Amino acid sequence: MTGKVFGQPIPRLEDQFLLTGTAKFIDDIEIPGMVHAAFLRSDYAHARIKKIDYSAALKRPGVIAVYTAEDFGDYWRPGPLQVPPPTAIKGSQFNARPLVPIAKDKVRFSGEPLAVVIAESRYIAEDAFDDIIVDLEPLPAVVDLEEAWENKPALVHDDLGTNMAALVKQERGNYEEARAKADVVISRKILVNRNAAAAMENRGFVVNWDEREQEMTVWATTQAPIPLRNTIAARLGLFENQVRVITPFIGGGFGPKIMTSQADDVLLPWIAMKLKRPIKWIEDRRENFLATTSERDQVHYAEIALTKDGVILGVKDVFYHNTGAYDPYGMTVPLNTQTHTISNYRVPSFYTEIRMVFTNQMVVTPVRGAGRPEGVFVMERLMDAAARELNMDPAEIRLKNLLEPNELPLRTGIIGQDFVEGVLDSGNYKANLQKLMEMVEYEKFRKEIQPALRAQGKHVGMGIVCFTEGTAVGPYEGARVTIGGNGKVSVATGISTQGQGHFTVFAQIVAEQLGVKAEDVNVVTGDTAHFHWGAGTFASRGAAVAGTAIYNAAVKVREKIFATASKWLEVPPEQIELGDGKVWVKGKPEQFITLGDLAFRANPTRGVIEPGVEPGLEATGYYGPPYGATGAGAVAMIVEIDPETMELKIKRFVIVHDCGTVINPLLLEGQVEGGVSMGIGNAFYEKMVYDENGQLLTASFMDYLMPQATDMPPKIEIGHLTTTSPLNPLGIKGVGEAGAIPTPSAFVQAVEDALFEYQLEIPESNLSPSKIFEYVQKASKKG
Amino acid sequence: MKPVNFDYYAPTSVDEALDNLAELGYNGKVLAGGQSLIPTLNFRMARPAALVDLNNIPELAYIKPTSDGGLAIGTMTRDSKVEYNPEVAKRFPLLPEVMKFIAHPQIRNRGTFGGAIAHADPAGQLPAVSVAMNATMRLRRKGQERTVTADEFIIGPFMTVLEPDEMLAEVILPPNPPRTGSSYKQVSRQKGGYAQAAVISVVTLDDRNRCKDVRMVLMSVGERPILSQKAREILMGQEASNEAFRAVAEAAATQEADPATDLHATADYRRSLVRVLVVRSLTEAFDRAKRGG
Amino acid sequence: MKIEGEHVFKGPREEVWEMFRDPEVLASAMPGTQALNKIDDQHYEGTMNIRIGPVSGTFAGTLTVSDENPPESCTLTVDGRGAPGFAKGVGNVHFTDLGDGTTKMTYSGEVNIGGTLASVGQRMIDSVSKSMIKTAFDTLDKALEARLAAKESGSAVEFKAPTEAEFAKNVAKDMAGGLTQVTEVRMLMYIIPVAFVLFLIAFTLSKCNGGG
């Protein structure tokens, strides 16, 4: 579906601002009279607050105010929930415990805010921490998921009487029957370790209350500017349009920046109104690790039942999911795990059970992948175990069980994060794997290359896995497209941008419809004064959902152009051509009107207009899908391990991906490569570690290892297939999280394959040379 | 992550700096390249009352030949200057070899040779190299000067014999005798990252290829750089042999290395790395010594 | 973090106990101790100043003695808090007279560290803790030696925390010279694990003497 602009690999339009340092980021915002906020945070993961005495802090020069929970009076209250409970799922139990803005009576995670200090500078605010006397009575910390489920060693929420945050069971078919018929049943305990998003830029919040105008302006590094605006307004009793939320350029989101109702966005607007001074808060890196959400951390007891020929009859998965100290984001992450476990395979019977627990750790909300990597990891590990048991090649067992295109669309029988039954809309999963095997020369590798290398004593292994990616979920997004008097086009949409290239892909969609150059389309995202309806940037939905809304609006504007031009050029619309920023009569190019002129004419300031006609060349469009669009793909990676030191090198990384129609191949590549980098990070470097007292031990990049360019394979080879989505006119599916989802699964399989003589089976998703060494030692002892 | 207030002194001569340090005593802390100090200040883990900044004293940065064919390196010489200096490369190929592993080029442009050694990070390359090269440290305080060997200088993790009003002024590298070969082998999680284990070998052979001198240092597997006695015991007077190297490796790993288990690696794994890296390092050092060093 | 091990003191059990029984002597022997106050038989509080490389700080802690089984063993709980974090240590100490004029002390305990130090200081904790315990025992050995020598010669005990020894050196001077610290002694502190082990040992010994 490539056009003049749409589908073309044009370089990004926003890069000139980013590369010349003129782009504005949150810490660039300076307002006269601005003061700085800092949060005093709890060291203990679980404690009762006996006393907080900040009188000494108030005496420090430069300190303007200090607040604790009590000082906010009735304004202090938990919540609201950001994602509603899963009532759509029969029999589900959910205990809502939304975020509290600041700890009151009890601290539930290390890093939870105890007090907020407002001072002339951030330095002074941090100095004031030393003045604040905090008396906490430590309590035993709830850390282990299975023990938490047993309400040991303590209750995170005393009033609840349990640490169970949710219990959600879903089934399709009948697993017990399937199991009874099976020739082979394999069960495994599988762990997925916790990772942070660790965006290059931390969070930030700047708020200015204009007392005379009675208007509040907020700059925030948020993925959800409109919900943020609405909750701030609601809490303060203001009209929504008295609050403007602007997102500056943001240095990466990856999920946690979707959160609202955190200490900054709840407390700082209230304080700004009280003190009548603009306030800035910029999160530092340690705070980001401690007190911004992160994700993954599940313990699975999974089972697969197959025939002796390797045909899957059923899968069962009972898993513990850590939601952390609160559950503001509902069941989104574990529901994604449920919907992505059986993924693109034919699994007639599937039973899945979420046991979500509260713990004394930071809250878990989506990070690129958002529960999908966990589901895929479990399934791929089961497939690998089955392949080993049945002496089948890993690619062979997958090909045997992948769904065929004519089985789609397939109603999965499992309800997902959008509270409707997941439907696999379109895709050719086998073709993905076959193309991958071609690209990576699978047969040759297995039969010639690998045996030859092994004969030389080299430990080279391959991992090959399949995955799906649920994207583009509802509810909806909207956009307004306007032709300006300058002949250029202005687009405004409610979602915000964190570096994905929205300013370019949205321009491409509009430019194609309106016959202008992409550079002449100006896109505004994430400014509620420009557009104030929408949900936010998450679940890889920007291009598919907001893009479609933009497309719908652009199509309406195109119709208006033809209608208006027809009137002024005095010919029927079919005889009008549109392009190069103007309209003209077919065959008579000298009879033209520029778009700018046409826009001007479409907005008379005198005279009479026909009934039903709207002024200007402008239209607003909305789009909401009936369910999410599912992308899919397959990954193969080849690693070489030094058996003496267990050092590992990625020799090759190949990913085949199908995300439907491609708007800009350059940006698509960027998204895939970014996701793969994070996947490699998750698999071999990044690991959030909490100790048995709930202390986060990895709160700096010294200990939380970020993947570097030198850790990447020489090239990330990307193959494309295109199965358009039937769910939107452009056929687009999301792709933002694709690379992150399958990578750990492939990584682990590759390591096992490389160290073949040890017959390793690795049930966890994060490795290191030392960890591999441990597994080898254990395996060697077995003899 | 903002540091606590501190007084800031920016002396422009060594004497002025020593005056400042004498005056401040325990309340003062020297600022050299700052690549290790500044993060600890930002985390508020270090709260010195005053910083004495040596970056405005050009006379502290130099690489000068000494009368016996070695080199004297001023404490404030930037790591990258040492790394790329042709005289250094000629006399001590070990230095540019090791320095490529120290963090990243940007950090080496600011970090200083003396600063890194005075910081005495057990996982630091320069402290370990200075022990392997049998360097001499010149320490200065107001009105006094003394020298100690590198091995005497570093006494524990992040601990040296420096008095609070004393600074490391110069590192003196003795010349390598002919037929000396050296080698550095490390394993780290990532390029530029902290080593999980490393072995430095400096070997001198006689004209019959027998070991005349060997200094082997185990790095990052103990509280300080470990100068291996076992290597001397087993290798002195011996020719290169895999058997001998493996004996050294086993002894070093089990009797000399004292690695810790941390977030990134177990002590067992580190010990296994010592076994492997000792053999690789000695093999290469002996080989290079044979070929003329 | 688990701490366990043993140390043999070159002195008879009574001498070792006597030495540790006296808070004054102990304070002068333990690096960086500024003050040591007895609240009651079960509770003590103290302040200490530690310096390791560039990292330094003053901290204050409380010590609780429990599960006494004199003269063999007891449990000590140390609790310290402050701006850069907190540390809580629980330790069990056991003494054996080896019958040859020496005393073996075995200890096993756990120190839990939290706050900034735990979250960004893992590298420091890991590499420093072993060294500190060793150094602490070295200091105690020398203190015991001085006491035994003084007793023999009949003179007053002349023990200065060794100025040449590792980290003790710097801190002992702090203590001896009177601190010119800017920070006041309050609940602001910086906790090092071994300090608590030292408290554990010290107060155990004084306590496990059966109150004598």
pLDDT digits (tens, 9 = 90+) for A702-734: 999 999 999 999 999 999 999 999 999 999 999
Both B192 and B257 in one domain: the answer is yes
Pick A43's closest partner by Cβ from C114, C122, C123.
Answer: C114
Both B160 and B194 in one domain: the answer is no
Measured between CA atoms, the residue of chain B closest to residue A645 is B273
Residues pairing with C91 in the sheet = C76, C109
When pLDDT is averaged across residues B11-30 and rounded to a whole number, the result is 95
When pLDDT is averaged across residues A446-472 and rounded to a whole number, the result is 96
- Cβ separation B43–C121 shorter than 8 A: yes
DSSP code of A728? S
DSSP code of B191? T
The C-alpha atoms of residue C14 and residue C103 are separated, in whole angstroms, by 9
How close does chain C come to B18, measured CA to CA in Å?
18
Asked if B133 contacts B148 with a C-beta cutoff of 8 angstroms, the reply is no
Q: Is B124 helix (H, G, I), strand (E, B) or coil?
A: coil
- Cβ separation A697–C114 shorter than 8 A: no
Asked if A711 contacts A719 with a C-beta cutoff of 8 angstroms, the reply is no
- Which one, of A537, A550, A475, A458, lies nearest residue A508 by Cα? A550
When pLDDT is averaged across residues A544-569 and rounded to a whole number, the result is 95
- Cβ separation C53–B159 shorter than 8 A: yes
The C-alpha atoms of residue A28 and residue A18 are separated, in whole angstroms, by 13
The C-alpha atoms of residue B168 and residue A169 are separated, in whole angstroms, by 67
Residues of C in contact with B120 (CB under 8 A): 53
| pLDDT at residue A482 in the model | 97
| pLDDT at residue B45 in the model | 87
Count of other CB atoms within 10 angstroms of residue A757: 12
Residues of C in contact with B122 (CB under 8 A): 127
- Cβ separation A699–C86 shorter than 8 A: no
| pLDDT at residue C158 in the model | 55
The C-alpha atoms of residue B40 and residue B115 are separated, in whole angstroms, by 15
Measured between CA atoms, the residue of chain B closest to residue C175 is B26
CATH 3.40.1130.10 fits A198-291, yes or no: no
| pLDDT at residue C32 in the model | 61
pLDDT digits (tens, 9 = 90+) for A249-283: 999 999 999 999 999 999 999 999 999 999 999 99
| pLDDT at residue C185 in the model | 24
Segment (H or E) for C138: helix C122-153
- Cβ separation C127–B46 shorter than 8 A: no
> What CATH number did the domain enclosing B37 receive?
3.30.43.10
The average confidence (pLDDT) of chain C is 66
- Mind listing the domains of chain C with CATH numbers? 2-207 (3.30.530.20)
When pLDDT is averaged across residues A184-196 and rounded to a whole number, the result is 96
Count of other CB atoms within 10 angstroms of residue B90: 9
Residue C59's pLDDT band, with cuts at 50, 70 and 90, is: confident
pLDDT > 50? residue A384: yes
pLDDT > 50? residue B268: yes
- Cα torsion A451, A453, A459, A464 to 10°: value is -60
- Cβ separation C114–A703 shorter than 8 A: no
When pLDDT is averaged across residues B71-90 and rounded to a whole number, the result is 98
| pLDDT at residue C80 in the model | 80
Phi-psi category of A308—alpha, beta or left, where left has phi over 0 and alpha has psi -120 to 50?
Answer: alpha
pLDDT digits (tens, 9 = 90+) for B161-190: 999 999 999 999 999 999 999 999 999 999
| pLDDT at residue C23 in the model | 60
Diameter of chain B measured on Cα atoms: 62
Both B124 and B214 in one domain: the answer is no
- Which one, of A602, A581, A544, A514, lies nearest residue A729 by Cα? A544
- Cα torsion A45, A47, A49, A54 to 10°: value is -40
Pick B189's closest partner by Cβ from A697, A698, A768.
Answer: A768
When pLDDT is averaged across residues C105-109 and rounded to a whole number, the result is 87
The average confidence (pLDDT) of chain B is 96
Rg (CA), chain A: 28
| pLDDT at residue C83 in the model | 67
The structure tokens 């929420």 sit at A157
Parallel/antiparallel/unpaired status of strands B226-227 and C2-9: unpaired
When pLDDT is averaged across residues B24-52 and rounded to a whole number, the result is 92
pLDDT digits (tens, 9 = 90+) for A24-53: 999 999 999 999 999 999 999 999 999 999
- Cβ separation A126–B44 shorter than 8 A: yes
Residues of B in contact with C52 (CB under 8 A): 157-159
Asked if A340 contacts A375 with a C-beta cutoff of 8 angstroms, the reply is yes
When pLDDT is averaged across residues A745-758 and rounded to a whole number, the result is 96
Both B30 and B105 in one domain: the answer is no
- Cβ separation B156–C190 shorter than 8 A: no
Peptide bond into A475 cis (omega under 30): yes
Both B113 and B66 in one domain: the answer is yes
Residues pairing with B217 in the sheet = B200, B227
Tokens of A48: 């009762």
Asked if A340 contacts A470 with a C-beta cutoff of 8 angstroms, the reply is yes
| pLDDT at residue C154 in the model | 74
State how many domains chain B has.
Answer: 3
| pLDDT at residue C33 in the model | 64
- Cβ separation A697–C119 shorter than 8 A: yes
The average confidence (pLDDT) of chain A is 95
Peptide bond into B86 cis (omega under 30): no
| pLDDT at residue B169 in the model | 97
Q: What is the CATH number of domain A298-473+626-782?
A: 3.30.365.10
Helices (H), A640-763: 665-684, 743-754
Residue A185 makes CB contacts below 8 A (sequence gap 6+) with A179, A303, A304, A305, A306
How close does chain B come to C185, measured CA to CA in Å?
15
DSSP code of B292? T
Amino acid at C194: V
Q: What string of DSSP letters covers A224-289?
A: -HHHHHHHHHHHHT--GGGEEEE--B-S--SSGGG--SSHHHHHHHHHHHHHTS-EEEE--HHHHH
| pLDDT at residue A280 in the model | 98
pLDDT digits (tens, 9 = 90+) for B199-248: 999 999 999 999 999 999 999 999 999 999 999 999 999 999 999 999 99
**Phi, psi (rounded to 5 degrees) for A130:** -65, -25
The C-alpha atoms of residue C40 and residue C22 are separated, in whole angstroms, by 15
| pLDDT at residue A271 in the model | 98
pLDDT > 70? residue C50: no
Measured between CA atoms, the residue of chain A closest to residue B193 is A702
| pLDDT at residue C121 in the model | 78
| Domain containing residue B124 | 59-173
| pLDDT at residue C26 in the model | 55
Does the CA dihedral A234-A240-A243-A245 come out positive or negative? positive
Residue A698's pLDDT band, with cuts at 50, 70 and 90, is: very high
- Cβ separation A770–B266 shorter than 8 A: yes
| pLDDT at residue C19 in the model | 66
Residues pairing with C103 in the sheet = C9, C97
When pLDDT is averaged across residues C52-75 and rounded to a whole number, the result is 74
How close does chain C come to A203, measured CA to CA in Å?
19
How close does chain A come to C2, measured CA to CA in Å?
12
Exposure pattern of B200-237 as b/e (b: 16+ CB <10 Å)? bbbbbbeeeeebbbbbbbbbbbbbbbbbbebbeebbee
Residues of chain A with CATH 3.30.365.10: 198-291, 298-473+626-782, 474-623
| pLDDT at residue C25 in the model | 58
Residues of C in contact with A45 (CB under 8 A): 114
- Which one, of A375, A268, A265, A258, lies nearest residue A328 by Cα? A258
Measured between CA atoms, the residue of chain B closest to residue C125 is B262
Both B41 and B92 in one domain: the answer is no
pLDDT > 70? residue A61: yes
Inter-CA distances, B257 with B149, B160, C133, Å: 21, 20, 18
| pLDDT at residue C196 in the model | 45
- Tell me the percentage of chain A whose pLDDT exceeds 70: 99
How close does chain B come to A641, measured CA to CA in Å?
13
Pick A770's closest partner by Cβ from B1, B269, B276.
Answer: B269
- Cβ separation C120–A699 shorter than 8 A: yes
Asked if A280 contacts A206 with a C-beta cutoff of 8 angstroms, the reply is yes
pLDDT > 70? residue C191: no
The structure tokens 């959600």 sit at A168
How close does chain A come to C161, measured CA to CA in Å?
31
Pick C131's closest partner by Cβ from B26, B29, B157.
Answer: B157
Inter-CA distances, A211 with A217, A243, A278, B128, Å: 11, 12, 11, 62
Residue C139's pLDDT band, with cuts at 50, 70 and 90, is: confident
Q: What string of DSSP letters covers A76-126?
A: ------SS---TTSTT-EE---PPPSS-BSEE-STT-EEEEEEESSHHHHH
The structure tokens 């058996």 sit at A643
When pLDDT is averaged across residues A69-86 and rounded to a whole number, the result is 95
The C-alpha atoms of residue B219 and residue B270 are separated, in whole angstroms, by 11
pLDDT > 90? residue A465: yes
Both B186 and B282 in one domain: the answer is yes
Parallel/antiparallel/unpaired status of strands A215-220 and A243-246: parallel
> Which has more pLDDT, C59 or A700?
A700
When pLDDT is averaged across residues A355-373 and rounded to a whole number, the result is 96
Q: Is residue B274 part of a domain?
A: yes
pLDDT > 90? residue C173: no
- Cβ separation B157–C135 shorter than 8 A: no
- Tell me the percentage of chain C whose pLDDT exceeds 90: 0
Asked if B225 contacts B217 with a C-beta cutoff of 8 angstroms, the reply is yes
pLDDT > 50? residue B96: yes
- Tell me the percentage of chain A whose pLDDT exceeds 90: 97
Both B142 and B212 in one domain: the answer is no
Tokens of A702: 């010294």
CA terminus-to-terminus distance, chain B: 47
Pick A697's closest partner by Cβ from B263, B270, B276.
Answer: B263
Measured between CA atoms, the residue of chain A closest to residue C126 is A697
Asked if A495 contacts A522 with a C-beta cutoff of 8 angstroms, the reply is no
The packing angle between helices C13-21 and C122-153, to 10°, is: 110
Asked if B258 contacts B292 with a C-beta cutoff of 8 angstroms, the reply is no
- Cβ separation B5–A685 shorter than 8 A: no
Chains contacting chain C through 3 or more C-beta pairs under 8 A = A, B
pLDDT digits (tens, 9 = 90+) for A601-653: 999 999 888 888 899 999 999 999 999 999 999 999 999 999 999 999 999 99
Chains contacting chain B through 3 or more C-beta pairs under 8 A = A, C
The C-alpha atoms of residue B51 and residue A83 are separated, in whole angstroms, by 51
Tokens of A477: 């997004």
Classify residue A782 as exposed, middle or buried by CB count within 10 Å of its CB (0-12, 13-18, 19+).
exposed
Inter-CA distances, B6 with A689, B21, B135, C180, Å: 33, 14, 34, 15
- Tell me the percentage of chain B whose pLDDT exceeds 70: 100
pLDDT digits (tens, 9 = 90+) for B130-153: 999 999 999 999 999 999 999 999
| pLDDT at residue C171 in the model | 38
Rg (CA), chain C: 16
How many H-runs (helices) and E-runs (strands) does chain B carry? 12, 14
| pLDDT at residue C138 in the model | 76
Both B39 and B90 in one domain: the answer is no
Residue B26's pLDDT band, with cuts at 50, 70 and 90, is: confident
pLDDT digits (tens, 9 = 90+) for A157-180: 999 999 999 999 999 999 999 999
> What CATH number did the domain enclosing B207 receive?
3.30.390.50
- Chosen from B4, B45, B117 to mutate, greatest number of chain C CBs within 10 A: B45
Both B226 and B251 in one domain: the answer is yes
pLDDT > 70? residue C205: no
Q: What is the CATH number of domain A474-623?
A: 3.30.365.10
Asked if C127 contacts B127 with a C-beta cutoff of 8 angstroms, the reply is no
Q: Is residue B2 part of a domain?
A: no
Q: Which residues of B have a CB under 8 Å from any CB of A?
A: 1-5, 43-44, 187, 189-194, 196, 263-266, 268-270, 272-273, 276-277
Both B187 and B150 in one domain: the answer is no
Parallel/antiparallel/unpaired status of strands B7-9 and B50-53: parallel
pLDDT digits (tens, 9 = 90+) for A330-351: 999 999 999 999 879 999 999 9
How close does chain A come to C186, measured CA to CA in Å?
10
Q: Is residue B1 part of a domain?
A: no
| pLDDT at residue C86 in the model | 83
pLDDT > 80? residue C82: no
CB-side neighbour CA atoms (13 Å) of B196 = 29
| pLDDT at residue C122 in the model | 78
Q: Is residue B192 part of a domain?
A: yes
When pLDDT is averaged across residues A219-243 and rounded to a whole number, the result is 97
Phi-psi category of A750—alpha, beta or left, where left has phi over 0 and alpha has psi -120 to 50?
Answer: alpha
Both B94 and B17 in one domain: the answer is no
Residue C53's pLDDT band, with cuts at 50, 70 and 90, is: low
How close does chain A come to B146, measured CA to CA in Å?
36
Residues of C in contact with A703 (CB under 8 A): 120, 122-123
Helices (H), chain B: 14-24, 37-42, 79-84, 86-91, 94-99, 105-110, 113-119, 125-132, 150-153, 229-235, 242-251, 267-290
